[in-house]
Amino acid sequence: MALLIDPKKAKVLRAAPRLMQILRVLARHKFLGALFGRNHWPSPKEVRETFEELGLVFLKLGQILALRRDLLPAAYIDELLLLHDQLPAMDINVVRATVERELGAPLTKLFSAFSETPLAAATIAQVHEATMQDGRHVAVKVQRPRLKAIISTDIAALNYLVGLGEGLFPSLRAVDLPIVVRELAKSLHRETDFGREARSIVLIRAALADVPDLWIPDVIAECSGDTVLTMEYSAGERADVYAKTHPEAMPRVVNTLVKLMLHSIFEEGLFHADPHPGNVFVLPDGRLSLLDFGNTGDLDEPMRESLTLLLEAVVKGDARAATEAYLEMAPASEKVNHVELLVDIKAVLYEIRRTNLADVSIGNAFESLLRAGSRNGVRNPGEFVLLTRAFVILESMIGQLAPGYNHMDSFREEIARLSAQHFSLARIKGTTTKLARELERLIVDAPGDTRRILRRFAEGNLGRLPGLEALGRKFSRNLERLTGAIAFAALVIGGAMLLMTPMGGWHDTFGEMMIFSGFAGTVIIYIRALRRDPDQR
């Protein structure tokens, strides 16, 4: 008889040697003393050195924790920000073997030239400059070997340690460590999935094609795979290096950065989550070049709508609206203390309103919301945490590139443009058409679906119930009236939104027509509802 082992326990068993190694390192750096309270925590420097010694997964964990000011004291955050992910370069023979195995051909047949010295060597991969056989200048990103096995083992060990810690010390549950580990695992999966990165590059290139002064290198699909990614070579200088010799160009650079970030978030829902100076280059002709799409965020439309409402509420100082928008983005939970959350968000917005507008930071504002949520039982959504991280990194880089420059003017200008586009006649027409089609489908399908369900119910073990089909017909008619009322109410709301937008002209005329049609339709439905149903005569 086969012995069945719980998959989770099997993962822990396989990770046991690594788990013992991790425990030895933690003990040597005095981590185990933290079990006796905050007064016994290791120093911030020891925490950083521990993560660096434990390698890839812990380096990434430290980088995630460095952005969670809602979880750790400021001294630890500041130290974790010093974590680096530069590693010794892989031997050229390992690089050659990886490329040839992935692409199925000798390196000399794939490339006419391939530099043995990497341009960069990080935890996930290293990048080599090369020339294709047809003369194209490219950059080849080669993944380090055995990464997936290393990550799987370390995540299993971390999950075990977190579960053990929460079992021994229930107070740790307030820190939401399982969510942090889950967020870490997702982040590492994104960064090691070169196929996903290639697709993200294609999508973001298309989404940002209209952003001026921006160039994103294309993927060379025939020389890319699961562990190798070949792209057009991006010449130029890192943005922070370029800023030292071309300070006069920085306002334009900042405007471009802001535009590409907001456009990709609100228009496409796909954004670069790691916009630090090493991933932003300035080309010889002055255009920006955005690199490394291993870590991108993906926001669905409901999340983007909630984010828009949140930003508007933050700007207006409306704590109640900000709280509602914030909770719409977070997973539902019965543990949320709504009263205290509202009080904390009021305090956050008060601090923002009393700050000089030029000094306001969107990233810091979102971090404050995350802290308020964590204190009051909110399970912060991973994508919002990632977005906050992106804003913090972006604003930090803007401060480096153009100290003293009021980048909030660029944010306001771009948000105003996106708002005008959001309420444009074409967009509202498209949204109304989509709503009308969905309602039409619901109205057409609902009566038949209802009758089929009722017929099956009536033919079941309970036997045929008298009057059941008549009840079904009545229910179907009421459903038709309800959906019609919803459609006409949507017309009224859409028209009111148009009239509230200060654009004038056709917008006002169209808005008035929508409101009139909506009210007229509602009145007709009301009059018909007053008439006696045939089944009741």
Catalytic residue numbers read 274
For the chain, what is the total number of helices (H) and then of strands (E)? Answer: 21, 11
- Report how far residue 408's alpha carbon sits from residue 19's, in angstroms, rounded to the nearest whole number: 47
Query: How far apart (Å, rounded) are the C-alpha atoms in residues 122 and 113?
Result: 22
- Looking at the DSSP bridge assignments, the partners of residue 280 are 290
Q: In the block, which residue shows the tokens 């619901």?
A: 442
Half-sphere exposure of 326 (CA within 13 A, CB side): 32
In 10 A of CB 515, how many CB atoms?
Answer: 18
Angstrom distance (rounded) from CA 30 to CA 50? 10
State the Rg of the chain over Cα: 28
Calpha distance 140→100 (Å, rounded): 12
Alpha carbon 310 to chain centroid, angstroms: 15
Alpha-helix runs per DSSP H in 29-146: 44-54, 56-65, 74-80, 92-103, 107-110
In 246-361, which residue ranges form alpha helices assigned H by DSSP?
A: 250-263, 301-316, 319-329, 338-353
| Contact predicate 154/57, CB 8 Å | yes
Please spell the DSSP secondary structure of 151-203, one letter per residue. HHHHHHHHHHHHHHHHHH-GGGGGGTHHHHHHHHHHHHHHHH-HHHHHHHHHH
For the beta carbon of residue 12, count every other beta carbon within 10 angstroms: 16
Q: Would you call 462 helix, strand, or coil by DSSP?
A: coil
Q: Please, which residues bridge with residue 214 across strands?
A: 288
Q: Which residues face 120 on adjacent strands?
A: 127
Residue carrying structure tokens 């956050």: 348
Cα angle, residue 288 at apex, residues 287 and 289 outer, rounded to 5°: 120
- Which token pair is 61? 């964990």
Interatomic CA distance for residues 48 and 359, integer angstroms: 30
- Residue 445, number of CB atoms within 10 A of its CB: 10
Q: Is 367 exposed, middle or buried (0-12, 13-18, 19+ CB in 10 A)?
A: buried
Residues pairing with 128 in the sheet = 140
